[in-house]
Chains A and B, each alone.
Chain A
Amino acid sequence: MELFNHLLMGFSVALEPGNLIYCFLGVLIGTLVGVLPGIGPVGAMSLLLPATFHISPVSSIIMLAGIFYGSQYGGSTTSILVNIPGEAASVMTCLDGYQMARQGRAGPALGIAAFGSFIAGTLGILGLILIAPPLVDFALRFGPPEYFSLMVLGLTILTFLTSSSMIRALMMASLGLALGTVGLDTISGLSRFTFTVPELLDGIGLVPLVMGLFGISEVLLNIERTIARDVFTTKVAGLLPSMADWARSIWAILRGTVIGFFLGTLPGGGAVISSFAAYAIEKRVSRHPEEFGRGAIEGVAAPEAANNSAAQASFIPLLTLGIPSNVTMAMLLGALIIQGVTPGPLLLSQHPDLFWGVIASMYVGNVMLLALNLPLIGLWVRLLSVPYSILFPLIVIFCMIGSYSINNSTTDVLLMLGFGVAGYLLKKLSLETAPLVLAFVLGPMLETSLRQSLIKSEGGFGIFFSRPISAVCLIAAFALVVMPLLPWCQRRPGALIDGEETT
């Protein structure tokens, strides 16, 4: 009954006219950036983060969350019609979705992607509602050692999944941790690596870092090469899947939902790996595995359901523990902190309107997305023809204004440019930026937890192993680091998604 009352309160917040508009804006922008390859949800959120300073915390988080789960919907359109994933989580949808489009079945492919996403998204929110409140009570028992170990596990999982070279992903995570130390030391008050630049006393800003690494670097990469896009020109018709399509897809959608939800709740997990796992499992359990890659509708339904379910589930570690499980959640964490809201176990009691309002807005957003993605599919198809030569100059100006308007500081813009060039070089060198950003965000929390734990234990590392949750997390992290060294475990999921942004 209490849960029902909370949900009612959430809907009263989410259905306020202002919040409805921001929710619609969020899912609209999310679908847009999902449809357009090259701008992921992280880039879009970093571009819009400064614009959220002028609106309430609830509205801003509703909008930013909408961008995230909206992009999961939009990504499938580009995968099916262009054979280019609109964002990383839609990579698997290309395999069968594009083949279906080539066979004249683009409509059912787009339809099952939208319906599958809706079903998975709705069930994912239900899971979030049921799991988050008990987890909050559990999280209240967490001390610095547990937080430290959980963050180490999250970073390890992300590096394990991100790239084919775990060493290089860990190098990037170390660099992120090092960059996170710039600014005033919160315990001693000493300034670190600020080089007498007053703007650096608060540390390197998340917005310049992300805008540089994800926005400017993408523009620089596209200046050196031109991406050709051939939109599949067959008329998109018959969006409603047939009964036979539903019969083949419904279990794939449900399996994808469950897989996505559990992988999404893991720190370091997320939509990308969920869609890979769902596709692989679906192929394994299918009676017609030979049809996968040749236009099997289950090959579209399962990964689309998984990435949407994972998108909802990844809110659980952020809202209950205050730990972002991936880069997109790190952006949301940054937005919450900027708004003066500290996510974590106390969020539910201190800001119930935000907690339940955001959850309820996801239901509303999912309905909006279904309406946006089915009747308006023609509009999204036309948008695919917007040339990069127009799009990328606009991204540059967005980045410039975005990084300047936070503190009205040219230093932030210079930092963003520096990170833009660095991001370009990192991408050229096949080094992942996702672990760097997540480690950068987690760095200050991780450092504080580590130092508090060591002070509490008088320098003994036993404190991390004498507490069960902490010990389990560290052992799991160690196992993930060691696994690639074992000959029978060398084929990691990261090898499949090498080069893709894990968000």
Chain B
Amino acid sequence: MLVSDLVWLAVGGAFCLGGLHLGFGSFRQPHAGFMPVLAGLTLAGLTAIDLTVGLLSGWSQEKRDADIWADINPGRLLATALVLLAYTLLFTTLGFVLATIPLLAFLFRLMQARAWWVVLSASVGVTGLFYAGFKFGLDCQLPRGLFWF
């Protein structure tokens, strides 16, 4: 957990510095940076305590950083994260329907190996249901993209 504590120290420090940059003010007249400094200091202080407790106990009762990543498939996780990012960046350009069908096909196939025709027809059907439900049922604005759907 050493790495995560160092990250939280950095995050706390960043909020402190950002708050000071905005202006802490005084206790009599607190400025915009008052709360970020307090929250950042609290986060950094608590992390320092957690870090100290961990170091003193030799991380005996903690999961080691490496243990957390044991027995997982990083390729699947990374691929999912990248596909979701690509979907987010493309779905306003391509439109909801054209972007969602391949995303669903990817996720259905990733979750369980099924025949491609099953995956594709399920993706088309589900996308159609979502589109009809949100667009016409709930009157939600969905990105129209190149082909207006």
User: Is chain B found bound to chain A in the same assembly?
Assistant: yes
Stretch in contact with the other chain, from A58-66, A101-109, A187-195: A187-195
Chain B residues closer than 8 Å to A50, beta-carbon distance: 140
A148 smallest CB distance to B (angstroms):
12
Contact of A178 among B22, B40, B81, B91 (CB under 8 A): B40
On whether the beta carbons of B46 and A170 are closer than 8 Å, the reply is: yes
On whether the beta carbons of B72 and A187 are closer than 8 Å, the reply is: no
Chain A residues closer than 8 Å to B40, beta-carbon distance: 174, 178
Whole-angstrom CA separation of A113 from B63 in the bound complex: 37
Whole-angstrom CA separation of A361 from B143 in the bound complex: 36
Q: How many residues of B contact A (CB 8 A)?
A: 66
On whether the beta carbons of B46 and A174 are closer than 8 Å, the reply is: yes
B30 smallest CB distance to A (angstroms):
5
Given contacts A224-B72, A455-B30, contact A397 B143 (CB under 8 A): no
Chain A residues closer than 8 Å to B57, beta-carbon distance: none
A132 smallest CB distance to B (angstroms):
31
Given contacts A192-B36, A388-B111, A410-B88, contact A405 B142 (CB under 8 A): yes
Q: How many residues of A contact B (CB 8 A)?
A: 59
Whole-angstrom CA separation of A165 from B63 in the bound complex: 13
On whether the beta carbons of A188 and B32 are closer than 8 Å, the reply is: yes
On whether the beta carbons of B80 and A175 are closer than 8 Å, the reply is: no
Whole-angstrom CA separation of A445 from B76 in the bound complex: 41
A395 smallest CB distance to B (angstroms):
10
Stretch in contact with the other chain, from A120-128, A196-204, A413-421: A413-421
B132 within 8 A of A: no
Chain B residues closer than 8 Å to A168, beta-carbon distance: 50
Interface positions, chain B 36-63, Cβ under 8 Å from A, are 36, 38-40, 42-43, 46-47, 49-50, 53, 63
On whether the beta carbons of A400 and B50 are closer than 8 Å, the reply is: no
Interface positions, chain B 70-127, Cβ under 8 Å from A, are 71-73, 76-77, 80-81, 84-85, 87-89, 91-92, 96, 100, 103-104, 107-108, 110-112, 126
Chain A residues closer than 8 Å to B96, beta-carbon distance: 401
On whether the beta carbons of B43 and A392 are closer than 8 Å, the reply is: no
Main secondary structure of the interface of B (DSSP, over half): helix
- B63 to chain A: closest residue by CB: A430
Chain A residues closer than 8 Å to B134, beta-carbon distance: 401, 405
Given contacts A50-B140, A220-B81, contact A387 B35 (CB under 8 A): no
Contact of A401 among B30, B46, B76, B140 (CB under 8 A): B140
B27 within 8 A of A: yes
Given contacts A174-B39, A178-B39, contact A421 B81 (CB under 8 A): yes
On whether the beta carbons of B8 and A171 are closer than 8 Å, the reply is: yes
On whether the beta carbons of B12 and A454 are closer than 8 Å, the reply is: no
On whether the beta carbons of A193 and B107 are closer than 8 Å, the reply is: no
On whether the beta carbons of B53 and A167 are closer than 8 Å, the reply is: yes
Chain A residues closer than 8 Å to B35, beta-carbon distance: 177, 181, 443, 447, 450-451
- A428 to chain B: closest residue by CB: B68
- A447 to chain B: closest residue by CB: B35
Given contacts A224-B72, A396-B107, A410-B88, contact A459 B126 (CB under 8 A): no
A404 within 8 A of B: yes
Contact of A171 among B32, B47, B53, B100 (CB under 8 A): B47
On whether the beta carbons of A393 and B80 are closer than 8 Å, the reply is: no
Chain B residues closer than 8 Å to A130, beta-carbon distance: none
B145 within 8 A of A: no
A394 within 8 A of B: yes
- A175 to chain B: closest residue by CB: B43
Whole-angstrom CA separation of A177 from B42 in the bound complex: 10
Given contacts A224-B72, A389-B111, contact A455 B141 (CB under 8 A): no
Interface positions, chain A 363-410, Cβ under 8 Å from B, are 387-390, 392-394, 396-397, 400-401, 404-405, 408, 410
On whether the beta carbons of B104 and A397 are closer than 8 Å, the reply is: yes
Whole-angstrom CA separation of A274 from B85 in the bound complex: 40
B1 smallest CB distance to A (angstroms):
7
Q: Which of B12, B43, B143 has the most CB of A within 10 A?
A: B43
19 contacts between A and B (CB under 8 A): A177-B35, A177-B39, A181-B15, A188-B32, A216-B84, A220-B77, A390-B108, A393-B111, A404-B142, A405-B142, A410-B89, A410-B92, A443-B35, A443-B39, A451-B30, A454-B28, A458-B28, A459-B28, A460-B27
- List the 5 closest A-B pairs by CB distance, nearest first: A459-B28, A389-B111, A393-B107, A459-B27, A389-B112
Given contacts A175-B8, A396-B103, 6 further A-B contacts (CB under 8 A): A167-B46, A178-B43, A192-B22, A223-B80, A387-B112, A404-B143
